[in-house]
Amino acid sequence: MKDGVNGVALAVFIFFFLAVTVMGFLAARWRRADSDSLDEWGLGGRSFGTWVTWFLLGGDLYTAYTFVAVPAAIYAAGAAGFFAVPYTILVYPLIFTFLPRLWSVSHKHGYVTTSDFVRGRFGSKGLSLAVAVTGILATMPYIALQLVGIQAVLDVMGVGGGEDTNWFVKDLPLLIAFGVLAAYTYSSGLRAPALIAFVKDTLIYIVIAVAIIYIPIKLGGFDDIFAKAAHAFSQTNPATGKPRGALAPAEPGQWTYATLALGSALALFMYPHSITATLSSRSREVIRRNTTILPLYSLMLGLLALLGFMAIAAGVKVTNGQLAIPQLFEDMFPSWFAGVAFAAIGIGALVPAAIMSIAAANLFTRNIYKDFIKPDATPAQETKVSKLVSLLVKVGALVFVLTMDKTVAINFQLLGGIWILQTFPALVGGLFTRWFHRWALLAGWAVGMLYGTFAAYGVASPTQAHFGGSSKEIPGIGEIGYIGLTAFVLNVVVAVVLTFALKAAKAPDGIDETKPEDYTADAGDPGVQVELPPATAGASH
């Protein structure tokens, strides 16, 4: 481990950071229309084509935390950390079936969020509010973890001083990064991360390509890497009295592995930021094409995960597993290329953090502020509120990072995955059928949320009980598998049973404002135009 500030790496990092900062502010003029609306600020004018959407979704889904945490899980627990690879493979056939339908109906009716669709489909502001609140709660700790990724890089570069340094001086670089992120997101909206994603993804692909060739050569090849990793995993973990990990999941852990991968796949595109990036596309065919080429990122993720084994073979010793990969880059790469790798991670945090804050702000504006506080808000007022809320969301994430232990942020993010999966029946179910009763869906959501929260809290780590904790290095796992998937099954069962009961009792159902043809029309079809919801249309006159 190198001591002091790595000046060369820091200079390279600052160069790329300044470059993307300039791009972020210039993005305000990129394909910008004259209107001041959430369509423009929050969805980029719904104008992005195949490649812009591909980079935007890649930058959105494969975050700095992915870059740091996936190989860190391999470093800590072995092959069990590879669950992220199959789940990103499973997710693309899944979204191929429903995202084009969501795009079409959202384009037709001017929906900006998933809650907009749920309200329109089921005629229920209560169900829409539940989906919106869940999305905001699940997104907040996710944003915090992007800042954790930046902080990990800064720590390894030696920036900010030691533990005894004044807190303001220590966290000043992170505060500066946060200020820049907040400023260009406020100014440029979704166009900023869309433009910066080109730089971020290019850097990540370069770093992974070099790392997967250069580091094994320095370590004596993959045979030696896997041999050293196997030896390390065979050692006993003092906290558990069991082996530290394994190169392949043992038979008892295979069900856990499978349920975690499946549950994570179902949850990924329930997150608001995933849907925001999707709805920014200019046609449903852009979405369909992207589901076929996005698996290229899964290939990159598989190679990225191998860095965890390399960190073990290289003798990297860190008290915080999240520092393992930045430290590997610091130890193995020349300083200038370590700076490139750190810039890839840092920029990899800025892109998703911007999209996440925009998505959370849109949910608040459309489904809390407009639905319950100011129904006659104009498009300009909506945009102003969304910009302000995006700042507040980022401030909340920053406070989270600066005042709480990092494991708390990680555990809340894992809990957020359990929560966001409970919106699946209302969103995906609603895209294919109107059979479910709105009250049944709301009850199912409540049961899934309560069970998932209490079950996750009850899974303890070796040292403490906390949300999502586990005796393994991948939290969120109970005795019968991934807690989020179990909660999801309970959610669906409750929704189905109550739907039968409510229909038999002839309980009043909401009004569906959509039509079957709304789910299959493309932007180029004659007569398909963006329609504003009734309240918005009335406010525009």
- What mean pLDDT do residues 120-134 have? 94
pLDDT at site 470: 34
Q: What domain range is 209 assigned to? A: 8-406
Is 522 part of a structural domain of the chain?
A: no
- Counting Cα atoms < 13 Å in the Cβ hemisphere of 340 gives 16
The runs of H, that is alpha helices, within 78-164 are 84-109, 114-122, 125-157
pLDDT at site 531: 40
Verdict on whether the full-model pTM lies above 0.75: yes
Residues 294-309: tens digit of each pLDDT: 888 888 888 888 898 8
pLDDT at site 112: 92
Residue entry with tokens 């997710």:
91
Q: Poorest-confidence range of 137-141, 250-254, 456-460?
A: 456-460
Judge contact between 190 and 280, C-beta under 8 A.
yes
Q: How many CB atoms lie within 10 A of CB 467?
A: 22
The runs of H, that is alpha helices, within 314-432 are 324-332, 335-364, 379-403, 406-421, 424-432
Judge contact between 160 and 169, C-beta under 8 A.
yes
pLDDT at 428 over 90: yes
**Band of the pLDDT at 84, cuts 50, 70, 90?**
confident
- What mean pLDDT do residues 502-508 have? 91
Residues 410, 489: Cα–Cα separation, whole Å? 24
Is 440 part of a structural domain of the chain?
A: no
User: For all residues of the chain together, what is the average pLDDT?
Assistant: 81
Burial classification of residue 187, based on how many CB atoms lie within 10 Å of its CB (0-12 exposed, 13-18 middle, 19 or more buried): middle
Q: Poorest-confidence range of 149-163, 184-198, 428-442?
A: 149-163
**Band of the pLDDT at 334, cuts 50, 70, 90?**
very high
Is 509 part of a structural domain of the chain?
A: no
pLDDT at 243 over 70: no
Is 414 part of a structural domain of the chain?
A: no
Q: Say which CATH number the domain at 220 has.
A: 1.20.1730.10
**Band of the pLDDT at 125, cuts 50, 70, 90?**
very high
Looking at the structure of the chain, the number of domains it has is 1
Is 445 part of a structural domain of the chain?
A: no
Residues 4-22: tens digit of each pLDDT: 677 888 898 889 888 888 8
Residues 495, 224: Cα–Cα separation, whole Å? 53
- What mean pLDDT do residues 341-359 have? 87
Residues 439, 447: Cα–Cα separation, whole Å? 12
Residues 45, 355: Cα–Cα separation, whole Å? 15
Is 513 part of a structural domain of the chain?
A: no
Output the CA torsion 175→176→179→181 (10° steps). Answer: -110
Residues 221-232: tens digit of each pLDDT: 989 998 888 888
Q: Poorest-confidence range of 58-67, 154-163, 425-434?
A: 154-163
Q: Poorest-confidence range of 174-178, 402-406, 415-419?
A: 402-406
Is 417 part of a structural domain of the chain?
A: no
Is 471 part of a structural domain of the chain?
A: no
pLDDT at site 102: 93
